[in-house]
């Protein structure tokens, strides 16, 4: 038996922009299980990241877990082992300190 589903209106107070289907014909609708919903993690202000630090990078409408592998004038290099071993460069404002959701709480 599948867990119950609940329709969520993402237009009220959540960090989701008005997203469209790939063909841009209508507003994107996604089904989400309640157990998968999380509050926004606490914001930790930092001026820089360390080499090999675990971070989240905002890309393709979501936050993805990666690792800092370097820095250049344009931003930080972030490596994503879980997605075909990709590495991309992100500006500071598109990276945040990574947290894990453990027993109903965000932990570093």
pLDDT greater than 70 at residue 11: no
Contacts of 58 (CB under 8 A, 6+ apart): 64, 90, 94, 95, 96
Rg (CA), the chain: 16
- pLDDT tens-place string over residues 23-77: 878 777 777 788 888 888 999 988 889 999 999 999 987 899 999 999 998 899 9
Q: Is 88 exposed, middle or buried (0-12, 13-18, 19+ CB in 10 A)?
A: middle
């Amino acid at each position: 038996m599948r867990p119950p589903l609940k329709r969520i209106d993402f237009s009220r107070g959540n960090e989701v922009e008005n997203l469209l289907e790939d063909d841009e014909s209508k507003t994107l609708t996604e089904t989400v299980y309640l157990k998968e919903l999380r509050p926004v993690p606490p914001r930790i202000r930092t001026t820089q990241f360390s080499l090999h630090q675990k971070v989240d990078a905002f890309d393709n409408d979501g936050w993805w877990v990666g690792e800092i592998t370097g820095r250049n004038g344009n931003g930080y290099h972030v490596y994503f082992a879980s997605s075909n071993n990709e590495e991309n460069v992100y500006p500071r404002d598109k990276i945040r300190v990574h947290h894990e959701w453990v027993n109903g709480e965000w932990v570093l």
